[in-house]
Amino acid sequence: MQDISEGLYREKGSKFIAYAAPCSSEAQAKELLESWRKEHHQARHLCYAYRFGPEGIIFRANDDGEPGNSAGTPILGQLQSFDLTNVLVGVVRYFGGTKLGVGGLVQAYKTAARDAIENGVIIEKEVQKQLKLIFHMAQMPFVMHALKQLHVEIISRDFSDACEIHIALPIATSENLLSELSTLPSVEIVPI
């Protein structure tokens, strides 16, 4: 997701407001959830799900007081069906006075989450490997030439003591760079 997007679903007087947000850590998720709770302090529930990491293997679903697996799991299911990672989806429920039953809740949370995701801009990124290169100043032209040839993203540079460059590159091209840099003496390659 590029920015926070919203979705809405109404059923029997209840209103489900969904938010889909780019998010890559539990701490960031807590901050976003807290801001949504403050904004919707009169709402009954704020159910959510997130997935993190390149493969989406870090995940959580929370029903926030709704019957078990009636809210968080359907939201997580939408993240999985869109194959999204590094995304948090939260759905705020304002109770309308009529109980929806477990099936109705599953449908409502799933539909609201899908609406928020579809209203957002999904950013596709190639999985990248991050490395730190440590070398002597004399190696600078050779290292920079190798980085330029393979179109490597330089995240940060530090030339205070030894030269250090923090880089990110697609996993598919990382072997080419590693083999080229391994021919240079005195270049230390540290995975991050």
Do 164 and 96 reside in the same domain of the chain?
Answer: no
Query: What is the average pLDDT across 54-70?
Result: 94
Say how many domains are in the chain.
2
pLDDT, position 84: 96
CB 64 within 8 A of CB 33: no
pLDDT, position 192: 80
Do 49 and 108 reside in the same domain of the chain?
Answer: yes
Q: What is the CATH number of the domain that holds 58?
A: 3.30.230.30
Query: 22 or 160: which carries more pLDDT confidence?
Result: 22
**123 within domain boundaries:** no
Do 139 and 170 reside in the same domain of the chain?
Answer: yes
Do 78 and 140 reside in the same domain of the chain?
Answer: no
Least confident of 14-28, 85-99, 131-145: 131-145
pLDDT, position 91: 98
Query: What is the average pLDDT across 161-177?
Result: 84
What are the tens digits of pLDDT across the range 67-122?
999 999 999 999 999 999 999 999 999 999 999 999 999 999 999 999 999 999 99
**pLDDT of 45 strictly over 90:** yes
Instruction: Give the DSSP per-residue string, 35-88.
Output: HHHHHTTT-SEEEEEEEESTT--EEEEE-TTSSTTSSHHHHHHHHHHTT--SEE
pLDDT, position 98: 94
Do 112 and 133 reside in the same domain of the chain?
Answer: no
